[in-house]
Structure 1
Amino acid sequence: MPSLTRVEATARGASITVESYQVDLDLTGGGERFHSHVTIRFRATPGTATFAEVKPAKLLAVRLNGADLDPDALDDNRLPLTGLRAENTLVVEAEMAYSNTGEGLHRFVDPADDETYLYAMSFLDDVQRIFAAFDQPDLKASVTLAVTAPPEWTVASNAEVAASPSPGRWEFAPTAPLATYFFSLIAGPYHVRRDEHDGIPLGIYCRRSLAEHLDADAEEIFTVSRQCLDRFHQLFTERYPFGKYDQAFVPEFNAGAMENPGLVTFRDDYVFRSAVTDSQRELRATTIAHEMAHMWFGDLVTMRWWDDLWLNESFAEYLGTRVTADATRFDQAWTTFAMRRKAWGYAADQRPSTHPVAPQEVADAAQGLLNFDGISYAKGASVLRQLVAWLGDEAFLAGLNAHFAAHRFGNATLDDLLASLSTASGRDLSDWAERWLRRAQVNTLRAEVTVDADGRYSEVAVVQTAPESHPVLRPHRIGVGRYAVDGTRDRFEVDLDPGADGGRTVLHELTGAPAARLLLPNDGDLTFAKVRLDQASADAVPLVLPGLADPLARALLWSEALDAATDGERPVAGVVALIAAALPAETEVIITEDVLTLSRSLVDRYLDPAAREAALARISDACARLLADAAPGGSLQLAAARGLIAATIDADLLTGWLAGRAVPAGLAVDAELRWAVLRRLVVLGAAGEAEIAAEEAADPSAAGAERAARCRAALPDAAAKQAAWEIIVSNTELSNRLVEATAEGFWQPEQAELTAAYVERYFAEMPAVARLRTPWTADRVASLAFPRYAVAQPTREAAVALLARDDLTPGLRRVVTDADDDLRRALIARTAVAAAAA
């Protein structure tokens, strides 16, 4: 299928204007197909030609201005349209295929009760899997939908139901102008809860088997939604513009959520069926706020083309975190952002596939899909936070409101937004935008400190550097924190001038001041830059970190230590020692969870395998100490238990927990924790297929099926590995989530010898696998199935050989390029450790 190019989209956008879609879907047929009928009214330059897109199972009829067209004229997904008039009507009737990949109209049969659920995922160019369309973001039009479905079902879409003329028939009101990728629909026996706030009808949906869990959290979800709506109405002069605000939690969703106006869709993992930590609840809250921010950035004002993706995602990421921290009980959302989201952004920005936040050119929609990454989300949001620190909040918000007023229900570009912000602030943002938005890669800020004999600063400087491949220095406004051993802090802000002395900024404010025990550049996390402490401060971290009251400062110090080890500047063993010294005193659950997650990646890949068991023992011991002191039934206890499960090799302890023996008071060994324990036992060779089958029988849910698939792929058995590999490379009957779970469980650091032969098979077979599935699923499977623990030069050589081929999909090329770069960094880190030891 050809991907729509920017050149084609620009030409089509100049020649036609879409006025409306009238869509009629019949969902009463069999389990494989549904009937689609669409009438599109559009204006065009008379005599010109263009094309519409549709991906049918069978194209039944096409009529343009009353004349029948030959359905066989369909070229792949493109329907040629010639001899256009000033006013045109296109009618397309087709049989369409349901998907099991989370794209188009996804069909799911719940294993808990055999009920069928449908939902639409039209992003990025998949509305054409549901009905024919001019599928590009700047051809916005109103959609009027009618649906025929089993009368006992619930059906919802972007707009309110206008009429139900007969049982099983739903006719919806026309929507405001929408980009095609915002079309939304759910259909099935969904459970629904309703509310209303400030004149806006609210609804939340899930499948029936999750009803009791949604009901348990409904008030929290509605409260967060109400609080976020109120805060956005305080920030923006434009009220929420799309009538009702429904949120549907749907099965086997590919993304975290999708910002369809009027009917936002979320992965239903956010309907918690087991105990969760407060950081998981915070993630749900920030996701709700993120999608709500899109109602203005993305939905009301839509990017013209995918090169301005940041106008959607960077703003939603920034505002989602900001509004969550401002308006909800999750007031430490910026700590989570610093610890988790920015680590994602830093990693993405240092890979070979890095790209500017706002690239000059995105050639086609396929390339646009690849840019939904840590740069467009986390780096872009960090850049906006830096911009707010520089411009001031009042000027920033004034610029945003002017932008909405100028482009409401239309499309806009980077230049449009910069013009609004420049007018509001009185500042020329062209140089700022060139350095921050048009240039890739990340700066490093290093503290250089000299102290005199009296213990006072002779000189303190912050040196900004950039990689040789991307030699751009940027203006940074940062906080500088001086910390004593007892955790007390003195802080001030300073502007780093990229043109001053080769990026070296002397902090004259500190000359002659008493030296602090620890000096932290970028205290407060105002900018997007890697930080390196001076040596004395780095040495003091184990002493100072446990006593710091500010969780954001603790997060920044943990991030600095983890990043320095990732870069091979300090040994991984140092991170493990810091975990042993400081983690048992940690009180913030997000820091605990992310330190354990990120450190496990270092231990499993960046540390010499001979040292791995000892490192895991130290991490396991730290988790055990944290678990012993944590409040029963609290988030920290659960995070410590999960960390212990992942690191321990004590199979007797884990088997006892499954049997209810020696379980810490207050810890619920519920469905999710049981699966985590069982997965670790499987990896350790202490549980097998019989235990997996028994657990699956006890948990006959979609989540249980995914956990079972992950466990089966992790079995240390040659036959199990072969069966799992066949699912990864050839099975298209299983859903996206089951294939992904299998790929995720396949590689285990404890099973290097067992899986050695599959390293070569990955590079030989993955090109065909990538073409077997749709891009979103194919790329995800390719990433999860990469032999990430085969940290060796032959693996890199196999990757280089694969990348030399000219038949790779863009997604696979990017996956392998980035994964190979991760291997390169892991090998450097191992070499650095060996050199330090020598």
Structure 2
Amino acid sequence: MERMSDAPTRTEPASLTQVEAEARAALISVRRYDIAVDMTGLLDGPTIECVSTIAFECAEPGASTFVDCAADIRSATLNGRDLDLSIFDAGRLPLPDLAADNVLVVASAQSDTGRSVGILRTVDPSDKLVYVWTSFEPDAARYVWACFDQPDLKAPHGFVVTAPESWTVLSNSAPDQVEPADEGTASVETPARVWTFGDTPPLSTYVVVVNAGPFVELRREVDGYDLGLYARQSLARYLDRDADELFELTRQGLAWFGGQFDQPFPQRRYDQVFVPNMGGAMENWGCVTWTDAVIYRSPPTYAQRQARASVLMHEMAHMWFGDLVTMRWWDDLWLNEAFASWAATWALVGAGTEHTDAWAGFLCALKLEGYRADMSPGTHPIRGDVPDVAQAMANFDAITYSKGQSVLKQLSAYVGDDAFVRGLQAYFRDHAWGNTRLDDLIDAVAAAAGRDLSSWTPAWLDSAGTDTIRLADGALSIVAPDGGVPRPHRFDIVSYVVRDDVLHAVATTPVESTEASVEVDLPEADLHLLNANDLTFAAVRPDATSLATLLSRAGDLPDPLSRALAGGTAWDMMVKGELGAGDVVGVLTAALVTERSPIVVESFLGMALKAAEQWAPADQVAPLLLEVASTASGLTVEPDFRMPALRALAASASTADHFEILREPADHERDLAWRVLARRAELGDYDEDAVTALEKADLDPEAWVRALAVRGAQPDAAAKDEAWSALMVDRTVPMGSSLVQVGNLFWRPTQAELLKPWTDRYLDVLPSLASGGLLAVGGLIRVLFPFAVADQEFHDRALSLAEAPGTHPAIRQNLLTGADTLRRMLAARALSS
């Protein structure tokens, strides 16, 4: 055996290619993993130690392969013989001369536990307690222990974890046994316990998990399931406040998915662990890990609660689509994420939750992001070549999630909802615990529907861009973005007439198109609403009369989804240079006068703020924010909308009267108080004493981030330097909402001249992000893109960096999309000048 310290310098871990994965999967099959994890070194230091024992078979005895390990290998044996560690390189240890049956034992240590690459050790700043989480998608398990890190080599995992005595350890199932560690078991002299977990079902390496720390725990027995919620101790009061809602959503989701898929979740225990400094959530089997930013420190608004409910359902849907049945390779990653996103909204509407308007919420936020990505040079087919895992990381984008979700909604409409669900039931039944390709799902749906989908699939999945559906002179024209053949579409047109100053629906016309031109028999009407119920993914442009009615009477449409469609149409017209930012703000604020859907109110307020701050020329920002503030002021008297209206007002307050409206509520609500201080700081009225006092009074362990964000909002170079160092140099700002708070207040639209040097620094630092974790890379690039202040020079440099040889695919993808949006913003500002 050779020690890692005796080995030569290693190169960066290599990205597994599809060719390599296919060859390895053809050669070996994994019987099981037994992984011993020692976390005692993480209590006071950075090191986790693991021993991974892998039993596997080889179809060609005598052949060779490699195991993945991006940690420091201490020792390795294959079938009892020592392996030569001097040839361990690029995260791969060669395995020569395989037998028919093999046992590989690799002891490793990882001390790089502070970058969110597979594992993150976090110290809570409020009480100095240590928490550790793992998240392995797409190929980060190798950073913690040795494994064959590809999705189609599924196997049972058995974990034995030694951890500090005060910690709770969580994995994919309930522990079979917890007992004190024998003296000398731990790597440091600290009291420890050993947690032994039973075997998981056959799982891919990216959905196993070990989380640990002195968590607060809440448990509840519901419908035969043992449900658990966990968070760090400093968030106990907030978790307790939200527990009933989270448990009820979990109950509703498990009942809905189990019934609809005709396959109940097969494990009694289902845990959800809320952890610090994580930018999203991860669908680990039976133990979902997600950011504790959603354990809101202030009572959440309806939209925040809906977003959290959607994440909960999304990760739960993965238990079936992703965990139970897993894609063979990352070229079908879109299907994994798109399905979970579609299923989340479907469940929120159908499972008895209060969020029956979830499709409207999706349209106003995530679907608009899908359209934005799909019109940029960074667009790509939903299904495309993924030659290696690095390219898979680049595909974690709005096309994968939001466009993919919309396409699955269109497929359900195309074949019929009942047939779609029957197809899903067959798919899960026939492929449980296996690996599949897209054709397996499409074949199951086609068989259930009795329809040939052979042309539908390539039309929707193998070409990029968004079709545009136009109505003129009683005919529909459907235009593909490249001028080619449009996709098949199934959608509805609802016709309305204005009678007694009210919109009345007089007809619904279903359309199923396969050609570029479709004749439709529509009644005389003041408005023909294209794509009613938002069944397809397409830009829509009704006839001139309908468009005028749609934009002027958006708030009069009878349901939240139709009103969201009107707002989304106005937004799309602004993005494509057909409407100015002021016009869009006018459409949205006019609709808000009568709007009664909580999700549409909050969405339209957010859209109006963004239009004013990012899409308007500099000289119109202030008057448009005044218009938003006036609208928000009127909504503050409505109990159902008071908090989102106050938050929008705090972001746009422009007069002494506005701040007077905010004064009393801000005295009682800390989140609102932070927002008011930030707005005042942005306007040059920074109050250091008020910031210090609020930070001391705030019980949120991330209160220091709010204070940093307020300081960073100032039109002051030293304050910008402080915020920038925390964001991009030291990277101490936690992922998730904390990053959004600081980033949004850093790039203020009226500070463009001051911020010019930091736009350059943004591009300078991007190449260094390539070695970060998946969630960290995407979060930093997207959240901190300087839309509000960047100019043409920045745009050109961003494009040049995106197109430079060697740029990481994930960085390239995000830059291309961001640069295209900036180009459109610059054009919109010029249009409105």
**TM-score interval, normalised by the smaller of the two chains:** over 0.9
**1:702 partner SS:** coil
CA distance in 2, matches of 1:179, 1:548: 47
Q: Which residue of 1 aligns with 2:54?
A: 40
Q: Which residue of 2 aligns with 1:18?
A: 30
1:568, distance to aligned residue in structure 2 (A): 0.7
**1:126 equivalenced with 2:150 (yes/no):** no
Q: Which residue of 1 aligns with 2:127?
A: 113
CA distance in 1, matches of 2:459, 2:706: 45
CA distance in 1, matches of 2:471, 2:661: 49
Q: Which residue of 2 aligns with 1:457?
A: none
CA distance in 2, matches of 1:772, 1:429: 41
Residues 605-620 of structure 1 mapped to structure 2, 5 A cutoff: 605-620=614-629
Which of residues 490, 510, 519 is equivalent to 1:477?
490
**1:202 equivalenced with 2:227 (yes/no):** yes
Residues 287-366 of structure 1 mapped to structure 2, 5 A cutoff: 287-327=311-351, 328-359=353-384, 361-366=385-390
* 2:461 counterpart letter in structure 1: L
> What do residues 154-200 of structure 1 show as CA deviations (whole Å, max 9, x unaligned)?
11110221122436111000000110000112211111111223322
CA distance in 2, matches of 1:562, 1:832: 15
Alpha-carbon RMSD: 2.2
1:735, distance to aligned residue in structure 2 (A): 5.2
For the Cα contact (< 8 Å) 2:73–2:107, is it kept in 1? yes
Which of residues 643, 651, 670 is equivalent to 2:648?
643
CA distance in 2, matches of 1:65, 1:283: 50
1:408, distance to aligned residue in structure 2 (A): 0.7
CA distance in 2, matches of 1:50, 1:568: 55
Q: Which residue of 2 aligns with 1:584?
A: 593
CA distance in 1, matches of 2:480, 2:389: 31
Task: Say which is worse superposed, 326-335 or 702-711, in terms of deviation.
Answer: 702-711
Q: Which has the bigger relative contact order, CA under 8 A and spacing at least 6?
A: 2
> What do residues 281-340 of structure 1 show as CA deviations (whole Å, max 9, x unaligned)?
222222221111111100100000111113311111111111111111211112212222
* 2:652 counterpart letter in structure 1: A
* 1:20 counterpart letter in structure 2: R
1:596, distance to aligned residue in structure 2 (A): 2.4
For the Cα contact (< 8 Å) 1:730–1:769, is it kept in 2? no
Relative to structure 1, the CA distance from residue 480 to residue 652 in structure 2 (aligned partners, 3 Å threshold; closer, same or farther) is closer
**1:239 partner SS:** coil
CA distance in 2, matches of 1:159, 1:773: 29
Q: Which residue of 1 aligns with 2:186?
A: none
**1:427 partner SS:** coil
For the Cα contact (< 8 Å) 1:162–1:172, is it kept in 2? yes
For the Cα contact (< 8 Å) 1:767–1:808, is it kept in 2? no
Residues 537-548 of structure 1 mapped to structure 2, 5 A cutoff: 537-541=546-550, 543-548=552-557
Task: Say which is worse superposed, 127-136 or 717-726, in terms of deviation.
Answer: 717-726
Task: Say which is worse superposed, 389-398 or 485-494, in terms of deviation.
Answer: 485-494
* 1:395 counterpart letter in structure 2: A
CA distance in 1, matches of 2:533, 2:635: 27
CA distance in 2, matches of 1:6, 1:690: 57
Relative to structure 1, the CA distance from residue 775 to residue 479 in structure 2 (aligned partners, 3 Å threshold; closer, same or farther) is closer
Relative to structure 1, the CA distance from residue 400 to residue 382 in structure 2 (aligned partners, 3 Å threshold; closer, same or farther) is same
1:6, distance to aligned residue in structure 2 (A): 0.9
Q: Which residue of 2 aligns with 1:748?
A: 748
1:62, distance to aligned residue in structure 2 (A): 1.0
**2:164 partner SS:** coil
For the Cα contact (< 8 Å) 1:603–1:615, is it kept in 2? yes
Relative to structure 1, the CA distance from residue 355 to residue 80 in structure 2 (aligned partners, 3 Å threshold; closer, same or farther) is same
**1:90 partner SS:** strand
Q: Which residue of 1 aligns with 2:823?
A: 824
For the Cα contact (< 8 Å) 2:276–2:734, is it kept in 1? no
Q: Which residue of 2 aligns with 1:28?
A: 40
Task: State percent identity of aligned pairs.
Answer: 38
**1:233 equivalenced with 2:258 (yes/no):** yes
* 1:279 counterpart letter in structure 2: A
**1:535 equivalenced with 2:534 (yes/no):** no
**1:585 partner SS:** coil
* 2:511 counterpart letter in structure 1: D
Q: Which residue of 1 aligns with 2:463?
A: 439
Structure 1 unaligned spans of 5+: 450-459
Q: Which residue of 1 aligns with 2:710?
A: 711
> What do residues 23-75 of structure 1 show as CA deviations (whole Å, max 9, x unaligned)?
1111112321121111111111211111111122x321111111112333320
1:640, distance to aligned residue in structure 2 (A): 0.9
CA distance in 2, matches of 1:726, 1:205: 32
**1:149 partner SS:** strand
Which of residues 286, 294, 304 is equivalent to 2:310?
286
> What do residues 111-169 of structure 1 show as CA deviations (whole Å, max 9, x unaligned)?
22222111111121111122111101111111000111122221111022112243611
Relative to structure 1, the CA distance from residue 128 to residue 651 in structure 2 (aligned partners, 3 Å threshold; closer, same or farther) is farther
For the Cα contact (< 8 Å) 2:172–2:284, is it kept in 1? yes
Q: Which residue of 1 aligns with 2:274?
A: 249
**2:254 partner SS:** helix
Q: Which residue of 2 aligns with 1:455?
A: none
Relative to structure 1, the CA distance from residue 668 to residue 265 in structure 2 (aligned partners, 3 Å threshold; closer, same or farther) is farther
CA distance in 2, matches of 1:291, 1:803: 31
> What do residues 724-770 of structure 1 show as CA deviations (whole Å, max 9, x unaligned)?
3344443256655677765444321121121123333333x234433
Residues 647-658 of structure 1 mapped to structure 2, 5 A cutoff: 647-650=652-655, 653-654=658-659, 657=662
For the Cα contact (< 8 Å) 2:751–2:789, is it kept in 1? no
Which of residues 272, 275, 294 is equivalent to 1:270?
294
CA distance in 2, matches of 1:471, 1:706: 50
**1:462 equivalenced with 2:476 (yes/no):** yes
* 1:761 counterpart letter in structure 2: R
Task: Say which is worse superposed, 598-607 or 280-289, in terms of deviation.
Answer: 598-607
Task: Say which is worse superposed, 435-444 or 419-428, in terms of deviation.
Answer: 419-428
Number of aligned positions between the proteins: 802
> What do residues 695-727 of structure 1 show as CA deviations (whole Å, max 9, x unaligned)?
222225333233233333323211122233344
Q: Which residue of 2 aligns with 1:507?
A: 520
CA distance in 2, matches of 1:304, 1:352: 28
CA distance in 2, matches of 1:726, 1:113: 24
Relative to structure 1, the CA distance from residue 713 to residue 77 in structure 2 (aligned partners, 3 Å threshold; closer, same or farther) is farther
**1:53 equivalenced with 2:77 (yes/no):** no
Relative to structure 1, the CA distance from residue 780 to residue 226 in structure 2 (aligned partners, 3 Å threshold; closer, same or farther) is closer
CA distance in 1, matches of 2:504, 2:214: 56
For the Cα contact (< 8 Å) 1:351–1:821, is it kept in 2? yes
Q: Which residue of 1 aligns with 2:506?
A: 490
CA distance in 1, matches of 2:791, 2:542: 31
1:87, distance to aligned residue in structure 2 (A): 0.8
**1:77 equivalenced with 2:91 (yes/no):** yes
1:440, distance to aligned residue in structure 2 (A): 1.4
CA distance in 2, matches of 1:185, 1:349: 36
Relative to structure 1, the CA distance from residue 156 to residue 394 in structure 2 (aligned partners, 3 Å threshold; closer, same or farther) is same
Residues 98-109 of structure 1 mapped to structure 2, 5 A cutoff: 99-109=113-123
For the Cα contact (< 8 Å) 1:478–1:522, is it kept in 2? yes
Residues 208-223 of structure 1 mapped to structure 2, 5 A cutoff: 208-223=233-248
**2:532 partner SS:** coil
TM-score between both structures, scaled by the size of structure 2: 0.92
Q: Which residue of 2 aligns with 1:422?
A: 446
Structure 2 unaligned spans of 5+: 1-12, 182-192
